[in-house]
Each structure stands twice: as C-alpha cells, then as structure tokens.
Amino acid sequence: MIERGLALHGGFRDDRTLGRRDIRTLTLAALGGALEFYDFVVFVFFAIPLSQLFFPHDTAPWLAQLQVFGIFAAGYLARPLGGIVMAHYGDKLGRKRMFTLSVFLMAVPTLGIGLLPVYAQIGMLAPLLLLLLRVVQGIAVGGEVPGAWVFVAEHVPARRVGFACASLTSGLTVGIVIGSLVAATINSRMSPAAVLDWGWRVPFLAGGVFGFFAVWLRRWLSETPVFEAMHARKELASGLPLRQVFERHASGVLLSMLVTWMLTAAILVIILMTPSLVQSVFHVAPARAFLGNTVASIALALGCLGYGVLADRIGFARALLFGAVGLLVCSYALYLDLQAGAAHFLVLYALAGLAVGVVGVVPALMVVAFPPAVRFSGLSFSYNIAYAVFGGITPPLIGLLVKQFGVLAPAHYVAFAAVIGMGVAASSRRHL
C-alpha cells in the first residue's frame, strides 16, 4: 500500500520565506519552461491542417486526424528515453546542465517542423520526417519537465515546495496559452486556404526562436543548493541512481505514476485536445474554439498557483483530493454543455481550466517521494514512463472512443483518471 511505503525525504532548506534570489530563479525557470512547452504543444493546435497536409488527400478526415494524433502521441512515447538519460546525469553531474540541454534539444526540431515539405511535395517521407522530429521533441521534454520541477523545488524552503512546483507548472501552462493565442490569431486573421498554404508554419518557426531564447535565459540560473551540498559532502548516488530507485523506492514510483495518469488525462483531454474535438465533433467555429482554449489555459495557469499555495497550507494529499473532485465535476459540466449546443462553452471551459489547475499539486507529491541523491531519476522515470503509456494512448484512444461511444467519452475518461487521483490522496493523506 502507498501509505506503508511512502516516506517524506529531506533535502530542502529549513528557512520559511522566499528570498529575492528564489523569486528570480522561479521567474526565469518558469519563463524558460513556458517557451519550451509552447514548442511541444503547439503541434496539437494545428492537428487539423497537419492532417490535411501530411497525408494523402483521399484519406478520410477522421482517419487523417487520428494519424496526426498518433504522431503527437509519439512525442510522449519518446519521453522516457530523454528523461532517463538526462536524469542519470542530472543526479551525477548537476541539475543545471541538463536543464539547459533539454531546451536546446527542443528548439532544433521545432524549427525543423516549420521548414518541412508536405505530402504533396515528397510523399510518405513527409509524415515520416514529421514523426522523427516529434520524437526528438519528446526526448527533450522528457528531461525538461521533471528536471525543472526538481530544479525549482531544491532552490526554495521546504514549506514552499508546493508553490515552487506549482509556479513552474503554471509557467509550462503559459506555454499552452501562447500556443492557443497564436492558433487563435492565425485562424481568425487568415483564410483556411492561407493557413494550409503557409500560415501553419509560422508557429513552429517562431517556436524555434523562442527555444533558443530560453537557452539564453538559463545561463543566468545557478546550480541548486541541494545538489551543491550533496556534492560537497560526497553524498551523490553511487552506481546507477535508477537502480536504487527500483530497489528502495517502489512506493514512490507507484504514487508518481498514478498521479501522472490524472495529470495526463486533464492536460491532454481538457486543454490540448478539446479545441480540435469541439471543431470536429461539436462543430464549434475555430476562432471560438481557440478563444475558449485561451481562456481555459489562463485559468489553468492561475489554478496551478492557487493549488500550490493550498498544498503548502493544508497538505499535498488534501489539496489533491479537493482538486480531483473539482476536475471530475467541471469536466462533465463542459462536455454536457457541448452536447446540448455549447451555449455556455466559454464560461464552462474556463471553469474546467481552473479545475485542471490541480495538476500543480502533482509535481510536489513526486518531488518529496524520493531522496535528493536519486530524486531526479526517480521522478523522471516514474513521470515519463507513466506519461508515455497514458499520454501515448490517450489521443488515439479518445478519437476511437468518441467514434464508438459518443461525445461524452472524453469526460468519462477524465472522470475515471480523477477517481484514481482521489484514491491516491486518500491512501497517502497521513503522510502528505
């Protein structure tokens, strides 16, 4: 049982307040993360034009979109490779080096996607190259996200770990906001023909530039005090850090994988896939769909911060329980309204985005589940493997479920994952 195996580990500062240097670190880390996460998620906002451009014209629209979602999912399947390798060296050589490398590896393929020839120009080589670049993006983000959580958590006092992790998560969601704003602007100011002709390239070319700017930003960050202290005391993990994770911290791995499932369902279905689903399934106009997503993403960023503060005050498990219930309720409210005609789409999408903010609690739970010497490896393995499995199957699974079982299938899936989160919260409430 989780409650028997989980133990909070030390390795955080003892003081209680955030200093000026802490705030600077959180701000720079969140901004860099926003720019990198934009690169990773902008793909899904242009799933419809990509499905038309990178596959044969006689492909059924639902099948072409399913194939693009499959390529999108491939990025998640590649995450464990980058996460495991970067986490190993992050535990051995330092958090900052991997934190900078990951953003560079994201910028290069994003720029490459913006320059790709389409199916009409090079045939089947086009989707294959798109898949390859998406895999490289997955490798990069596999090291970026868990590394960023560890990085900010180890810079702040123990009583502010929840807020630190949530602020970084909020920064990552700002990347979604940027992507949504770019998509909304392009779809509202350009004709569908112009988007297919060249407009779809703009967000990827801009993303490459954003990525290199993020590399420059991270030059100003310092190594974490926790890692520096371990290095000075010669307490770094000997041998393979991941082996120690398997041998001694199985309960932390289990907890991390389960809460990642909830995080995956909330982000992918409610935030990333809903803009395309409301267009293809509920026939909402593209401009309105992306406006709703922008509002929801802003609400998500604010929700992350709110849940981070709540987690530091009432405990991580209680905050997770409260947020999982809200996620279940708001997901059904959104999709029931869509089924009824989408009269309240914008308001309910904003509330759903706020409810998704519970994902801000998830990284804090995972950070404290592992000791400092193997923290990066434990968190990265658990998070990336779970995200590869659940993130990989969710986009194509949702497409099939909607076709087979109806328009409420996305809400059912999110509700099921929220129940998993409630179970984790109930099991670990005595320890978190």
What does the DSSP assignment read for 152-164?
Answer: HHTTSBGGGHHHH
User: Tens of pLDDT along 155-177?
Assistant: 888 788 899 999 989 988 888 78
Distance (Å, rounded) from C-alpha 8 to C-alpha 368?
A: 6
User: What are the φ/ψ torsions at residue 191 (nearest 5 degrees)?
Assistant: -70, 155
Among 337, 109, 89, 340, which residue's Cα sits nearest to residue 208?
109
Nearest to 361 by CA among 154, 158, 176, 149: 149
Residue 223 has pLDDT above 60, yes or no: yes
Question: Is pLDDT of 9 > 50?
Answer: no
- Give the single-character DSSP code of 224: -
Q: Where are the domains of the chain?
A: 2-428
Handedness of CA 361, 362, 364, 368 (dihedral sign): positive
* Spatial distance between the Cα atoms of 335 and 277, rounded to a whole number of angstroms: 11
Exposed e or buried b for every residue in 19-30, given b needs 16+ CB within 10 A? eeebeebbebbb
**pLDDT above 70: residue 235:** no
pLDDT of residue 233: 74
- Host H or E run for residue 310: helix 286-314
3 state SS of 13: strand
Is the pLDDT at 183 greater than 90? The verdict is no
Token pair, residue 417, equals: 């994952």
Residue (of 379, 390, 431) closest to 168 by Cα position: 379
- Say which residues have a Cβ less than 8 Å from residue 264's Cβ, sequence separation at least 6: 386, 387, 390, 391, 394, 417
Mean pLDDT of 18-44: 78
Contact 102, 144 (CB under 8 A): yes
What is the predicted pLDDT for the residue at 12? 60
Let me know how long the chain is: 432
Q: What is the mean pLDDT of residues 246-265?
A: 92
What is the spatial distance between Cα 154 and Cα 223, in angstroms, rounded to a whole number? 9
What is the fold, at CATH topology level, of the domain defined by 2-428? Growth Hormone; Chain: A; (1.20.1250)
pLDDT (tens digit, 9 = 90+) per residue, 352-374?
A: 999 999 999 999 999 988 888 88
Greater confidence, 271 or 240? 271
What tokens does 5 get? Answer: 């195996």
Predicted pLDDT of residue 304: 95
Treating both helix axes as pointing N-terminal to C-terminal, what angle do 375-405 and 409-428 enclose, rounded to 10 degrees? 150
The residues pairing with 157 across neighbouring beta strands, listed in sequence order, are 13
| pLDDT tens track for 306-315 | 999 999 999 9
Which of helix, strand or coil describes residue 430? Answer: coil
Q: Is the pLDDT at 3 greater than 50, yes or no?
A: no
Distance CA 316, CA 308 (A): 9
Mean pLDDT of 209-227: 79
Is it the case that residue 125 has pLDDT exceeding 80?
yes
Pick the range with the lowest mean pLDDT from 49-53, 67-71, 294-298, 324-328: 67-71
For residues 80 and 67, give the distance between their C-alpha atoms in angstroms, rounded to a whole number: 22
Tokens of 332: 């059904």
Q: Rounded to two decimals, what is the model's pTM?
A: 0.80
Q: Kindly give, in sequence order, each residue whose CB lies less than 8 Å from that of residue 255, ignoring residues fewer than 6 positions away.
A: 2, 6, 365, 366, 369, 424, 428
pLDDT band at 6 (very low <50, low <70, confident <90, very high): very low
CB atoms within 10 A of CB 189: 11
Overall average pLDDT of the 298-302 stretch: 93
Distances (CA, A) of 99 to 76, 96, 230: 19, 5, 18
Task: At 256, list the tokens.
Answer: 């991390």
385-424 pLDDT tens trace: 998 888 778 888 888 888 888 889 999 999 999 999 999 9
Residue 7 has pLDDT above 50, yes or no: no
Q: Mean pLDDT score of the chain, rounded to an integer?
A: 84
The mean pLDDT value for 313-323 works out to 94
